Structure 1
Amino acid sequence: MELSDYLKVVRRRWVSIVVVAVVCTVASVGLTLAQAKEYASSARLFVSTSDTDTSVLNQGGQFSLARVQSYADLLSSRELASTVIDELALDLTPDELADKVASKVATNTVNLTLTVTDPDAHQAQRIAQAYAENLSDMVRQLETPPGQSVAPIKATIVDNASFSDAPVSPKPIRNVALGIVLGLLVGFGVALVRQMLDTRVRSAEDVEQVADKPVLGAIGHDAADKASTLLSDLPPHSPRAEAFRVLRTNLQFVDVDSPSKIFVFTSAVPEEGKTTTSLNLAISLAQTGIRTLLIEGDLRRPRAAKALGFDGAVGVTSVLVGKVKLEDALQHDERTALDFLAAGPVPPNPADLLQSKAMKDLLAGLREVYDIVIIDAPPLLPVTDAALLATHADGAILVIRHGKVTREQLKLSTQRLSQVDARLVGVVLNMVPSKDQSYGYGYGYAPEQADVVDQSGESATRLPARA
Structure 2
Amino acid sequence: MSLAQFLAVIRRRHWLLTMLTLLGVTGGVTLSLLATPLYRAEAQMFVSVDGGSTASDLSQGGSFSESRVASYAKLSTSTAVLRAAAREAGVEAAPSELERAVRTTTSADTVIMSITATQPDPEKAAALADAIAAQTIELVGDIEKTDALGESLVKLSVYQKAEVPTAPASPRVPVDIAVGALIGLALGIGSALLRETMDTKVRSVDQVASASGKSVLAEIPVSDDIATIALTSSGGQFSSTAEAYRQLRTHLTFTNLDGDCQVIVVTSSLAGEGKSTTAANLALMLAQNGHRTLLVDADLRRPSVADILGIESSVGLSTVLAHQVELDDAIQVVGEGGLRVLTSGQVPPNPSELLSSRQMQLVVQTASVSFDYVIIDAPPALPVTDPAVLGASASGVLFVASVDGRVKMGDIGRAVSKVDAVGARVLGVVANRVRVGHRPESYSYYATARPQSESPRRARRAAVEGRR
TM-score class normalised by the smaller sequence: 0.7 to 0.9
With normalisation by structure 2, the TM-score equals: 0.83
Change beyond 3 A, Cα 1:440–1:131: closer
Q: Deviations over 1:29-49 (max 9, x none)?
A: 332333333322222233344
CA contact (8 A) 2:283 2:375 kept: yes
User: Aligned partners of 2:257 and 2:388: how far apart in 1?
Assistant: 23
Q: Which residue of 1 aligns with 2:84?
A: 83
Q: 1:334/1:221 Cα in 2 relative to 1: closer, same or farther (>3 Å)?
A: closer
C-alpha change, 1:3 and 1:118, in structure 2 (3 Å) is: same
Equivalent residue, structure 1, for 2:218: 217
Specify whether residues 15 and 307 from structure 1 end up closer, same or farther in structure 2 by C-alpha distance, changes over 3 A only.
same
* Deviations 1:5-39, CA, capped at 9 Å, x for gaps: 33434444444434433332333233233333332
The amino acid of 2:429's aligned partner reads: V
Change (3 A) 1:231 1:150: same
The residue that corresponds to 2:464 in the other structure is: none
Equivalent AA in structure 2 for residue 220 of structure 1: P
Equivalence map 1:230-241=2 (5 Å): 230-231=230-231, 235-241=236-242
Q: How does 1:260-409 map to 2 (within 5 A)?
A: 260-333=261-334, 337-404=338-405, 405-409=407-411
| Conserved? CA contact 2:29–2:173, under 8 Å | yes
- Following the alignment from structure 1 to structure 2, what is the Cα–Cα distance between the partners of residues 182 and 95? 29
Provide, for residues 61-89 of structure 1, a one-character-per-residue CA deviation record: whole Å limited to 9, x for no partner.
66544543333222233332332333333
Q: Which residue of 2 aligns with 1:44?
A: 44
C-alpha displacement of 1:359: 1.6
Report the Cα distance in structure 1 between the residues aligned to 2:383 and 2:187, rounded to whole angstroms.
Answer: 40
Question: Contact 2:399 / 2:428 at 8 angstroms: preserved in 1?
Answer: yes
Alpha-carbon RMSD across the aligned residues, in angstroms, is 3.2
Alignment of 1:56-455 (within 5 A): 64-144=65-145, 150-223=151-224, 225-226=225-226, 229-231=229-231, 235-255=236-256, 258-333=259-334, 337-404=338-405, 405-436=407-438, 438-439=440-441, 441-442=443-444, 444-445=446-447
| Cα distance change of structure 1 residues 29 and 270 upon mapping to structure 2, 3 Å threshold | same
Q: Distance in 2 between matches of 1:445 and 1:438?
A: 14
Whole-Å separation in 2 of the counterparts to 1:53 and 1:146: 17
* Displacement of 1:374: 0.9
Contact 1:75 1:101 in 2 (8 A): no
Cα distance between partner residues in 2 of 1:105 and 1:200: 58
Give SS of 2:165's match.
coil
Percent identity among equivalent residues? 37
Deviates more, 1:138-147 or 1:280-289: 138-147
Distance in 1, Cα, partners of 2:199 & 2:108: 54
Q: For this pair of structures, how many residues does the alignment match?
A: 446
The Cα shift of 1:335 comes to 5.8
What secondary structure, in the 3-state scheme, does the structure 1 residue paired with 2:437 have? Answer: helix
TM-superposed CA distance for 1:264, in Å, is 0.5
Counterpart secondary structure, 1:436: coil
State which drifts further: 88-97 or 123-132: 88-97
Distance (whole Å) between structure 1 residues aligned to residue 112 and residue 444 of structure 2: 71
Query: Partner of 2:273: helix, strand, or coil?
Result: coil
SS of residue paired to 2:446: coil
Once residues 281 and 85 of structure 1 are traced to their aligned partners in structure 2, the CA distance between those partners, rounded to angstroms, is 86
Contact 1:218 1:437 in 2 (8 A): no
* AA aligned opposite 1:101: V
The alpha-carbon distance between structure 1 residues 168 and 330, as it changes in their structure 2 partners (threshold 3 A), is: same
Match of 2:24 in 1: 24
Distance 1:367 1:156 in 2: 106
Distance 1:212 1:77, change over 3 A: closer
The answer on whether the counterparts of 1:312 and 1:344 sit within 8 Å (CA) in structure 2 is yes
CA–CA distance in structure 2, aligned partners of residues 271 and 96 of structure 1: 65
Question: How far apart are residue 283 of structure 1 and its match?
Answer: 2.6
User: TM-score if structure 1 supplies the norm length?
Assistant: 0.83
1:357-400 CA distance string (max 9 Å, x none): 22212211110011211111000111110110011211111011
Deviation at 1:265, TM superposition (A): 0.6
Secondary structure of the corresponding residue to residue 164 of structure 1: coil
Contact 2:91 2:124 in 1 (8 A): no
Say which SS state the counterpart of residue 322 (structure 1) adopts. Answer: coil
CA–CA distance in structure 2, aligned partners of residues 208 and 93 of structure 1: 66
Q: Deviations over 1:278-305 (max 9, x none)?
A: 1222233334443221111112222223
| Structure 1 residue identity aligned to 2:128 | I
Moved more, 320-329 or 358-367: 320-329
Pick which of 383-392 and 178-187 moved more.
178-187
- Compared with structure 1, are the counterparts of its residues 227 and 319 closer, same or farther at alpha carbon in structure 2 (3 Å cutoff)? closer
After superposing the two structures, state which structure 1 stretch, 6-15 or 369-378, moved more. Answer: 6-15
Give me the whole-angstrom Cα distance separating, in 2, the residues matched to 1:360 and 1:344.
17
Structure 2 residues without counterparts, runs of 5 or longer: 450-468
